[in-house]
Amino acid sequence: MGRFFVSQAVLLCLAALLTSCGQSEDNQTVDTVSEEENSTSMFAMNTYVTVTAYGNDTEAALSSAEEKIRSLESLWSVTDENSEIYAVNHSGGNPVEVSDETAQLLDFSLQMNERTNGAFDISLYPVLTAWGFTTEEYRVPDDDEITQLLERTGVEKISLDGQTVHVPDDMQIDLGAIGKGYAGDLVAEDLKQNGVKSALIDLGGNIQTVGTKPGGESWSIGIRNPFGEGNFGVLEIGECAVVTSGGYERYFVEDGNTYWHILDPETGKPAQSGIISVLVIGAEGRLCDALSTSLFVMGLDRAANLWRNSDDFEMIIVTSDGGIYITEGIEDDFTLSKNFSQPEVSVIRR
């Protein structure tokens, strides 16, 4: 059930994206239509990835992007026995030397734990495993088991000295909430280095763009309706990252209760903050990815407070009761779908 829904969600997301981008393409001038479009698709980082580049001779850049994604996946996979994260998780408490990219991502993850007052926590892997989110063999652990597992979490017990990381023996980390966002950043950088001026990277619905669409037009991004099929709106963006976290992305139902894959580090249980999906937009994919997961945990009020104290992201939050909340910085870039039943959007202001 969970797996079916995930693949459907991804397909819907991709369909939405293709539709919205396609619509805008119809409006392009003759000049911009002549820009060549090339794309490459693959299954990586547990999701469907598509990189589309516009311009002449982008094949080599796309091959390089594909290689980059594969290499990052092989660094950060929790299951690949040759990955750096696997080495860290099976180090027996010994220090492990990691690549610069992994060290940067770990360092940033530890900073995000502080910035979100603990809501973003890469040390939850033992708890996620107990719930079956790592294997899809789902179960509801009892409170005693969760209490014991929480003793094996806590990023303050992780230390990072340059490229040497130390994770205690009984702990395990996972970068599932941030890796795709950082991969978006690094792939965008790689494309630019290879001369690409206009591109869209789609990592399972997490979007990173390079430049604008050919001709200077903005990209139109369809935003998945968390309650059912289709989109609830469209966002017009320039060069940036757009990352979404939702309770509908991976979940299971037992005895009438729905349990999703984003855990509250305080309780060790699926976060019940009243939020059903969060979209974060900003210049950095790694920031947007870390935030989309942690704002989901924090709930509307804490998320709004964090936004008010920040200047590096904007967000759209959908609550379980159907409320849509959007921060003022993207008010003019968002259009609600005509056929979406919830007609009201509340704007969060500074």
Cα separation, 343 vs 139, in Å, equals 37
Q: Which residues from 161-180 bind Mg ion, rule CB under 5 A?
A: 177
280 DSSP β-pair partners: 243, 315
Interacting span for Mg ion (CB under 5 A) from 212-220, 257-265, 284-292, 302-310:
284-292
Please name the residues in contact with 274: beta carbons below 8 A apart, sequence gap of 6 or more. 299, 300, 319, 320, 321
Among 121, 202, 289, 314, binds Mg ion (CB under 5 A): 289
Compute the distance between CA of residue 154 and CA of residue 123 in angstroms, rounded to an integer.
6
Minimum distance from residue 57 beta carbon to Mg ion (Å): 34
Q: Which does 128 bind (CB under 5 to 8 A by kind): Mg ion, ligand AMP, none?
A: ligand AMP
Which CB, 202 or 289, lies closer to ligand AMP? 289
**Smaller CB separation from Mg ion, 172 or 244:** 244
Residues forming the site for ligand AMP (CB under 6 A): 119-122, 124, 128, 133, 174, 176-177, 245, 249, 261-263, 265, 289, 292-293, 297
Choose between 49 and 62: whose C-beta lies nearer to ligand AMP. 49
Shortest distance, position 261 Cβ to ligand AMP, whole Å? 4
* 262 binds, options ligand AMP, Mg ion, none, Cβ within 5 to 8 A by partner type: ligand AMP
Q: How far is 118 from 297, CA to CA, in rounded Å? A: 10
Instruction: Tell me the number of residues near Mg ion by CB under 5 A.
Output: 4
| Residue 275 Cα distances to 65, 193, 204, 288, 324, angstroms | 34, 38, 21, 17, 10
In degrees rounded to 5, what are phi and psi of residue 235?
-120, 130
Q: Does 185 bind Mg ion (CB under 5 A)?
A: no
CA distance 251 to 317: 19
The CA distances from residue 242 to 71, 239, 249, 312, 316, in Å, are: 22, 10, 16, 13, 10
Question: CB of 166: closest distance to Mg ion in angstroms?
Answer: 25
Instruction: Pick what 9 binds: ligand AMP, Mg ion, none; C-beta below 5 to 8 Å, kind-dependent.
Output: none
Q: How far is the CB of 54 from ligand AMP (least distance, A)?
A: 27
Annotate 261-318 with three-state secondary structure. Answer: CCEECCCCEECCCCEEEEEEEECCHHHHHHHHHHHHHHHHHHHHHHHHCCCCCEEEEE
* Cβ proximity to ligand AMP, 160 vs 336, nearer residue: 160
Contact residues toward Mg ion (CB under 5 A) are 177, 289, 292-293
